[in-house]
């Protein structure tokens, strides 16, 4: 099966973003700057649960690898949708619009890939 270059490029970029940043949640190889105000309080509350960050980062790594390999791509996009929307809203509302660039790229890539796989979603929208 031939894969469009644009779809392959989108899969590679999106898959790498989630795989790398998901792994960073466990291995801490990329320094993360302190988050101001409400963003820091929100992240601190999620970390305080003891399970939420590891769960989210596990989902990011697993689905990032699914996207990279193309295994169950439509399912991976569904699993990542709430994560991506939360990343976007987190930066828009809590951190500030100046940091929203990566979140916009993530959402754009996800929408593009979902559109390219729209036939796989028809069943979930039937009445």
Q: What pLDDT was estimated at residue 36?
A: 86
Segment 35-81, tens digit of pLDDT:
889 999 999 999 999 999 999 999 999 999 999 999 999 999 999 99
Sketch the domain layout of the chain as residue ranges: 5-25+35-120
Q: Given this model, what pLDDT does residue 59 score?
A: 98
Query: Cα–Cα distance between 82 and 76 in angstroms, integer?
Result: 11
Backbone torsions φ then ψ of 30, nearest 5 degrees: -115, 120
Q: Chain-wide mean pLDDT for the chain? A: 94
> 82-116 pLDDT, tens per residue?
999 999 999 999 998 888 999 999 999 999 999 99
Give the single-character DSSP code of 51: S
Q: Is the predicted pLDDT of residue 1 greater than 70, yes or no?
A: no
Q: Is 34 exposed, middle or buried (0-12, 13-18, 19+ CB in 10 A)?
A: exposed
DSSP class of residue 98?
G
């Amino acid at each position: 099966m031939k894969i469009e270059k644009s779809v392959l490029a989108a899969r590679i970029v999106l898959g790498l973003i989630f795989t790398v940043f998901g792994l960073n949640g466990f291995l801490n190889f990329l320094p993360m700057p302190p988050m101001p105000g409400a963003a820091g309080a929100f992240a601190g509350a999620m970390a305080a649960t003891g399970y939420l960050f590891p769960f989210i980062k596990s989902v990011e790594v697993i689905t990032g690898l699914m996207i990279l390999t193309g295994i169950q791509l439509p399912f991976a996009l569904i699993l990542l949708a709430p994560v991506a929307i939360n990343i976007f809203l987190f930066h828009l509302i809590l951190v500030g619009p100046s940091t929203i660039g990566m979140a916009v790229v993530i959402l754009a890539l996800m929408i593009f890939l979902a559109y390219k796989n729209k036939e796989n979603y028809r069943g979930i929208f039937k009445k």
